[in-house]
């Protein structure tokens, strides 16, 4: 099953209430993932304190949506490659070890081209122009630096666009994987497809397992089931608390863990059926700031904020 699909009807299995076990892994739909995020960001930006920033990121998501359909079809990972990775308990398209298809640079060109003629700050225009002129080897080096977490601060502006492009590339690649062959990793806080960390978790309100928590990969957009009321960083369960901004809609909460001092965001679909794990994460930076000032460390950064 892919994200956004309705669970098939049929006889119920399982215990109390006939609820079925949640699907362990949901592969992304590149044709819907970025359009959904863009639409949600547009809605959240209205009268938001960070309206300008959210509107800009919404435009980036629209560019990602257009770029997801650009370029030649990507070659699907081979069956042997996938089975070898699964046998070794490794992600089949590991972000830091995958040999990228050169077509990803065409996706980058499509994303940058989306902003042609749009009014932008001069600094942003300069970054886009410089990135468009870079040679292939230099662009590949920037991608390697981002995926390995070694971004030079001087390259942060260019790597923002690299990160946005690689989200599209890896989302398209993950969609080609055979979900039946995939397995959750021993480290349940890492994506079973590419090994990246999640942006946020979403607690479902419908489907075959209402109330299940899915973590959403910050790179390839895959979602995977993770036990609730367990810290995704250290596995502890004794000192977890839910924290939020007083008086807000309660769509987004932070699950804090006293054992390791980290937190992860939880987004509740029951509070808003249109909630999106990527858009709602970006729209709740005030919650991140509040927790940071209180001494909590985020489990993993949002890639667009890490370099943006």
Show the domain range for 134. 30-174
Q: Is residue 146 exposed (0-12), middle (13-18) or buried (19+ Cβ within 10 Å)? A: buried
Our count of domains for the chain comes to 2
Look at residue 4 and tell me if it is in a domain.
no
Please provide residue 97's backbone torsions phi and psi, each rounded to the nearest 5 degrees.
-135, -10
Per-residue pLDDT of the chain (308 residues; tens, 9 = 90+): 455 443 333 322 333 445 578 999 999 999 999 999 999 999 999 999 999 999 999 999 999 999 999 878 899 888 889 999 999 999 999 998 899 999 999 999 999 999 999 988 888 899 999 999 999 999 999 999 999 999 999 999 999 999 999 999 999 999 999 999 999 999 999 999 999 999 999 999 987 889 999 999 999 999 999 999 999 999 999 999 999 998 899 999 999 999 999 999 999 999 999 999 999 999 999 999 999 999 999 999 899 886 54
Indicate if 34 and 150 belong to the same structural domain.
yes
38, 277 Cβ separation under 8 angstroms: no
Quickly tell me which residue has 């990793």 as its tokens. Answer: 185
Indicate if 246 and 195 belong to the same structural domain.
yes
Q: What is the CATH number for 93?
A: 3.90.1670.10
- Among 130, 155, 174, where does a domain finish? 174
What CA–CA distance (Å, rounded) separates 121 from 293? Answer: 30
Look at residue 259 and tell me if it is in a domain.
yes
């Amino acid at each position: 099953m892919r994200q956004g699909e309705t669970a098939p009807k049929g006889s119920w299995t399982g215990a109390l209430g006939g609820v079925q076990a949640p699907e362990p892994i949901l592969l992304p739909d590149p044709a819907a993932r970025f359009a959904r995020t863009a639409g949600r960001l547009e809605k959240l930006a209205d009268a938001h304190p960070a309206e300008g920033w959210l509107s800009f990121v919404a435009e980036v998501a629209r560019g990602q949506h257009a770029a997801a359909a650009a370029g030649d079809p990507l070659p699907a990972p081979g069956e042997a490659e996938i089975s070898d990775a699964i046998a070794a308990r490794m992600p089949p398209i590991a972000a830091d070890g995958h040999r990228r298809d050169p077509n990803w640079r065409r996706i980058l060109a499509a994303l940058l081209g989306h902003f042609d003629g749009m009014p932008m700050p001069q600094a942003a225009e300069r970054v886009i122009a410089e990135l468009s002129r870079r040679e292939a080897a230099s662009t590949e080096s920037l991608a390697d630096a981002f995926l390995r977490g070694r971004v030079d601060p001087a390259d942060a502006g260019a790597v923002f666009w690299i990160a946005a492009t690689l989200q599209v590339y890896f989302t398209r690649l993950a969609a080609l994987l055979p979900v039946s062959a995939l397995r959750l990793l021993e480290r349940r806080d890492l994506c079973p497809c590419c090994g990246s960390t999640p942006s946020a978790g979403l607690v479902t309100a419908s489907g075959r397992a209402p109330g299940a928590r899915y973590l959403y990969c910050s790179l390839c957009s895959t979602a995977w089931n993770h036990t609730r009321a367990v810290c995704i960083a250290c596995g502890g369960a004794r000192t977890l608390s839910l924290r939020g901004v007083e008086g807000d809609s309660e769509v987004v909460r932070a699950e804090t863990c006293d054992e390791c001092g980290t937190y992860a965001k939880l987004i509740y679909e029951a509070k808003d059926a249109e909630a999106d794990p990527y858009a709602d994460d970006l729209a709740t930076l005030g919650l991140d700031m509040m927790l940071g000032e209180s001494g909590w460390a985020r489990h993993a950064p949002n890639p667009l904020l890490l370099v943006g």
